[in-house]
């Protein structure tokens, strides 16, 4: 899952990136409002963590522009402004949640997981499809009740597809959500990861639609 952090305080941005990366999220960082607006408007993110007090364009303006242009990714506002009016303005501007500084990283991660679930209509932290389950709190995968060892890359790919059952993604779309920006991506890398997951999970959980891409069928579609 791909997350955009918009934060001009470098130390906090580094802490957020380190924490989210350790949770198997692919993280992009933006330091100012104009860059954040452009990235959010032209790239595909699963969630944004947005500070309000930004140089070049404030967070409220960034968020309002995204929503006006139809960008619907979940947005968690992260700010030192803690008045009720600021919170109301943030929600009315299109934010999905609001967390004030200082905060605990554990709370932020829990809110991120909840927003990602809510965005796809998933209420439980456990993703389930057929014989496969993912516990997003513990970042564990089981097949027929037995634990399966997966690499961080395999986990990101499997989680991304299981968050969107029935939706077909091209290899390029999958690649953008599981690899860091500065990683060289081989054109066949996604196929290799999927092949490894199929071997570990007992067959074709992940299906291929010729000429379009890969998907995990929703329950009842198999």
Task: Extract the tokens encoding 138.
Answer: 């513990």
Q: State the helix-helix crossing angle for 105-119 and 10-22, rounded to 10 degrees.
A: 60
- Cα–chain-centroid distance for residue 216? 18
| Residue 83: HSE in the Cβ half-sphere, 13 Å Cα cutoff | 3
Cα separation, 15 vs 166, whole angstroms: 35
Question: Alpha helix (H) ranges present in 69-169?
Answer: 84-92, 105-119, 152-163
* Domains annotated on the chain, with CATH: 2-119 (3.40.50.2300), 126-215 (1.10.10.10)
pLDDT in tens, the chain (222 residues): 999 999 999 999 999 999 999 999 999 999 999 999 999 999 999 999 999 989 999 999 999 999 999 999 999 999 887 777 877 888 888 999 999 989 999 999 999 999 999 988 888 899 999 899 999 999 999 999 999 999 999 999 999 999 999 999 999 899 989 987 655 666 588 999 999 999 999 877 899 998 899 999 987 666
Phi and psi, residue 164, nearest 5°: -130, 60
Cα separation, 12 vs 64, whole angstroms: 24
| pLDDT value at residue 169 | 95
Cα separation, 122 vs 7, whole angstroms: 28
Cα separation, 34 vs 56, whole angstroms: 6
Q: What is the pTM of this model?
A: 0.87
How many residues does the structure list for the chain? 222
């Amino acid at each position: 899952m791909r997350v955009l952090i918009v934060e001009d305080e470098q130390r906090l941005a580094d802490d957020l990136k380190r924490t989210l990366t350790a949770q198997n999220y692919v993280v992009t960082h933006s330091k100012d409002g104009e860059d954040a607006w452009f990235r959010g408007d032209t790239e595909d993110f699963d969630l944004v963590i947005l500070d309000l007090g930004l140089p070049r364009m404030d967070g409220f303006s960034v968020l309002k522009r995204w929503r006006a242009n139809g960008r619907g990714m979940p947005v968690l506002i992260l700010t030192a402004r803690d008045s009720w009016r600021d919170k109301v303005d943030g929600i009315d501007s299109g934010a999905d949640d609001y967390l004030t500084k200082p905060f605990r990283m554990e709370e932020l991660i829990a809110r991120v997981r909840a927003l990602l679930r809510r965005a796809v209509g998933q209420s439980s932290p456990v993703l389930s499809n057929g014989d496969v389950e993912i516990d997003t709190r513990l970042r564990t995968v089981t097949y027929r009740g037995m634990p399966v060892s997966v690499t961080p890359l395999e986990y990101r790919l499997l989680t991304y597809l299981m968050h969107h059952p029935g939706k077909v993604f091209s290899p390029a779309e999958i690649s953008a959500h599981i690899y860091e920006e500065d990683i060289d991506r081989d054109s066949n890398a996604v196929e290799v990861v999927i092949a490894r997951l199929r071997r570990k999970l007992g067959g074709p959980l992940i299906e291929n639609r010729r000429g379009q891409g890969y998907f995990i069928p929703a329950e009842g579609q198999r």
